[in-house]
Amino acid sequence: MRVPILKLGRVLLTSLPANLTDQQVMDLQIDALALLRDDRADGLVIDITAVDVVDSYMARVLSETAKMVGIMGGVAVLAGMRPPVALTLVEMGPDLIRMDTAFDLEGGVAKVQRAMATRGGRLDEPPEV
């Protein structure tokens, strides 16, 4: 079963389930990047509120996804991290998750919107005159 990705304005939203498999993480990456391109979204907010454990594989895929979103001209934000997950990620290494974070989903959407407003829109779009 694929993880659903919703669109709110120009921001893609997804919420990871607690029992996410490695295959679902990879499918999410593929689906999110395709939607980012097809819908010309500004960014992706990944809500991990329900996730109890982020292992090194999931952390690597999420970090790579954020990098890919950035290369495509968007912004990726990880939202809703629980304290035990944050502690585990810090213990695994400070460079494991290389993406912007937010306290909750609302904060994640706001970060994407602020980032786009600061740089004047997506990098692949001509500036408005």
**pLDDT tens digits for range 29-87:** 999 999 999 998 999 999 999 998 888 898 899 999 999 999 999 999 999 999 999 88
Q: Is the pLDDT of residue 119 over 60?
A: yes
Q: What mean pLDDT comes out for the span 105-120?
A: 90
3-state class (DSSP) for residue 121: coil
Distance between CA atoms of residues 94 and 75, nearest Å: 20
Please provide residue 65's backbone torsions phi and psi, each rounded to the nearest 5 degrees. -60, -45
Amino acid at 114: R
Q: Model-level pTM?
A: 0.88
